[in-house]
């Protein structure tokens, strides 16, 4: 029978010496965290390396975890930091594709849609002649033009679904900065999307 304890209770048990509790946490978050990291670093092999580094850091930082906070945002923030380190070493800035389905499972009836849908911004609809692959390539091109700092906010807000307060707590930046940075990120993405869309039209 699966362990019914909360993440926070499990991690507290691990800190008290219950070694098996960490294995439960790894198995519980493996699928979602691997999907997150694969999109972030752009390759499954790199995602696996980052996944291992993230949980090693969880182990090393166990004593510093604030038991009054939620475990999942802390874990994903550690993973995002490790992914940034990985990308920096690789000299790459691959980020998630905002046109990919949020749940990563496809476009079923229950799918909440894409990251672009979630942004709820006035992005011009793709030309009807564009297929999904072309649209994805355009979205990625626009995203590549967004500064990494703003891309990170989009990632935290729309992939991890963290609230303003949670982003403020995890990144250690003022709440007002979170709001203004996310607003700037959305506006910048919309502008870049318009630019790449117009550029494609001019090339035809």
Tokens of 33: 């965290």
Alpha helices per DSSP H over 146-174: 148-158, 164-171
CATH of the domain spanning 1-94, picked from 2.40.50.100, 2.10.109.10, 1.10.1740.10, 2.60.260.20: 1.10.1740.10
All CATH 1.10.10.10 domain ranges of the chain, comma separated, are 113-204
Q: Which residues contact 19 (CB under 8 A, 6 or more apart)?
A: none
Return the pLDDT at 110: 39
pTM across the whole model: 0.55
- The total of other beta-carbon atoms located within 10 Å of residue 4's CB is 7
Q: d(Cα 169, Cα 83) in Å, to the nearest integer?
A: 19
Class of domain 113-204: mainly alpha
What integer pLDDT is reported at residue 49 of this predicted model? 92
Largest Cα–Cα distance in the chain?
64
Parts of the chain belonging to CATH 1.10.1740.10? 1-94
Predicted confidence at residue 112, as pLDDT, reads 39
3-state DSSP call for residue 145? coil
Identify the pLDDT of residue 195.
Answer: 87
pLDDT at 21: 92
Tokens of 51: 């996944």
Pull the structure tokens for residue 29. 């978050």
- pLDDT for 165 equals 83
CA distances from 39 to 33, 46, 110, 159 (A): 10, 10, 21, 10
Q: How far apart are CA 179 and CA 170, in angstroms?
A: 14
pLDDT in tens, the chain (204 residues): 778 899 999 999 999 999 899 999 999 999 988 887 877 777 788 889 999 999 999 999 999 888 888 898 889 888 888 888 888 887 654 444 444 444 434 444 433 344 444 444 444 445 545 566 676 677 767 777 878 778 778 777 766 677 788 788 777 788 889 888 888 888 888 888 888 888 876 665
Question: Does residue 36 contact residue 22 with C-beta atoms inside 8 Å?
Answer: no
Note the pLDDT of residue 44. Answer: 83
């Amino acid at each position: 029978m699966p362990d019914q304890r909360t993440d926070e209770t499990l991690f507290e048990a691990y800190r008290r010496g219950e070694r098996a509790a960490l294995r439960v946490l790894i198995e519980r978050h493996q699928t979602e965290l691997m999907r997150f990291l694969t999109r972030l670093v752009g390759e499954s092999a790199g995602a696996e390396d980052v996944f291992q580094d993230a949980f090693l850091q969880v182990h090393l930082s166990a004593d510093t975890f604030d038991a009054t906070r939620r475990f999942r945002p802390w874990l994903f923030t550690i993973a995002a930091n490790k992914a940034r380190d990985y990308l920096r070493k690789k000299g790459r800035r691959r980020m998630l594709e905002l046109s990919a389905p949020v749940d990563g499972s496809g476009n079923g009836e229950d799918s909440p849609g894409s990251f672009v849908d979630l942004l709820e911004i006035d992005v011009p609809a793709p030309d009807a002649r564009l297929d999904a692959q072309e649209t994805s390539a355009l979205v990625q091109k626009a995203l590549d033009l967004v500064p990494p700092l703003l891309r990170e906010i989009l990632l935290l807000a729309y992939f991890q679904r963290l609230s303003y307060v949670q982003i403020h707590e995890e990144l250690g930046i003022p709440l007002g900065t979170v709001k203004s940075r996310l607003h700037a990120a959305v506006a910048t993405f919309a502008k870049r999307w318009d630019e790449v869309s117009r550029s494609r039209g001019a090339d035809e």
